[in-house]
Amino acid sequence: MKKFLHLLLRVALLLAGAVFAASLLLAALLMLLLWLLRSAWARLNGRPVARWTFKVDRQAVWDRFHARPGTHPAGQRNDADVIDVQAKEKLH
C-alpha cells in the first residue's frame, strides 16, 4: 500500500509539472503571436517595428524607498484637494 501511495504521489507531481510546463509554453507562444501580429501591423502601416521596452528610472526608485519618513516628493501633496477634515486631539 505504501509503494502504491508513493507511485500515486510521483504520478500526481509529474502531471502537475507537465501542466505547469505546458502553461508556460502556451503563455510564451501567446506572447510570440501577439508580438508577431503587432510587428506585422506596423509593417502593413509602413511604420518601424518598435521594441517592447520598460524604462525604469533607478534613481527615482532609490529615492522613493530611501526617503526619510514624512518627506514627500514635490508635487504629490496638494492641500487644495482636501475637502473636509475633522481635527482630533492627540493623546499622550
- Tens of pLDDT, residue by residue over 30-50, are 999 999 999 999 999 999 888
Res 5: pLDDT:
93
Residue at 82 is within a domain: no
Residue at 61 is within a domain: yes
pTM over 0.85: no
Residue at 87 is within a domain: no
Query: What residue numbers bound the domain in which 38 lies?
Result: 2-68
Residue at 30 is within a domain: yes
21 pLDDT tier (thresholds 50, 70, 90): very high
Distance separating alpha carbons of residues 36 and 77, to the nearest angstrom: 43
Residue at 42 is within a domain: yes
Domain count, the chain: 1
Question: Which DSSP string corresponds to 44-63?
Answer: HTT-----------HHHHHH
Distance separating alpha carbons of residues 29 and 83, to the nearest angstrom: 50
Residue at 80 is within a domain: no
Residue at 28 is within a domain: yes
Distance separating alpha carbons of residues 43 and 29, to the nearest angstrom: 21
